Every structure is written in structure tokens, then in C-alpha cells.
Amino acid sequence: EVQLLESGGGLVQPGESLRLSCAASGFTFSSNAMGWVRQAPGKGLEWVSAISGSGGNTYYADSVKGRFTIFRDNSENTLYLQMNSLRAGDTAVYYCATIPHPHYYFDYWGQGTLVTVSS
């Protein structure tokens, strides 16, 4: 059974940093592309970032490019999202999800972790 468990969310002030983690199990992690999708309170879904199985290819939404970095540790079956220069507009539940490469949609989702950016 595919399991994805996000952690690392919390309350931070504007301009601060946060690192999200997603621990994966139940599938061959290194063979799967992975991604992050966020959902602001009461709003719709927004794609944030994606990474290939090897980690060699990364993709970002314009709204986070240059501030967020996606990376993975295939030896630990863990996906990360390093978020710097956080803004109020980054407040959201962040979901990690598996991607059935080569098609970049999201087939299995974690339960999400809440990031709140507020002074």
C-alpha cells in the first residue's frame, strides 16, 4: 500500500524558511517522479513543484521559482521541499504526491501539512 506522510509544516513569519518532508513507503520510491501541490485555505489546488525519479530534473511553478527547492533522498525514500523567503501567499496545506512518469499528474496523495506564514 502506498503511504505518503508529510511533516515539517508550522507557523513562520514572512521572510523565514521552512523545510517540508514526505516519507514514502509501499512502492519503489526511486522509480517514481514526485510532486508537491498546495491548497490555500478555502481555495483550489495549485501545483508547486515536481522532480524526476533520479532527482535530475526539477520543475517549478512561477510563483515559487527561485524561492523553493525540491529534492529527494532515494536512499531514505524521502521527498523534500525547501521553502525560503516565505510570504503570506504561501499559506496553504502542502500535499506530496506520486507521479506516474512520464505523465505528470498525481496518482497517490499524502494527507498534507499546513504551512502558515504570518507575523
Partner 1 sequence: EIVMTQFPATLSVSPGERATLSCRASQSASNSLVWYQQKPGQAPRLLIYGASTRATGIPARFSGSGSGTEFTLTISSLQSEDSAVYYCQQHHKWPLTFGPGTKVDIK
Binding to partner 1 by residue 61, rule CB under 8 A?
yes
Least Cβ distance, residue 30 to partner 1 (angstroms): 21
Question: In b/e form, how buried is each residue of 99-116, taking b as 16+ CB within 10 angstroms?
Answer: beeeeeebebebebbebe
Q: Residue 102 in contact with residue 79, Cβ under 8 Å?
A: no
Among 8, 109, 114, 116, binds partner 1 (CB under 8 A): 109
| Grid cell in block for residue 54 | 533520479
Closest to partner 1 by CB, 14 vs 89, is: 89
Interaction site with partner 1 (CB under 8 A):
35, 37, 44-47, 50, 59, 61-62, 95, 100, 103-112
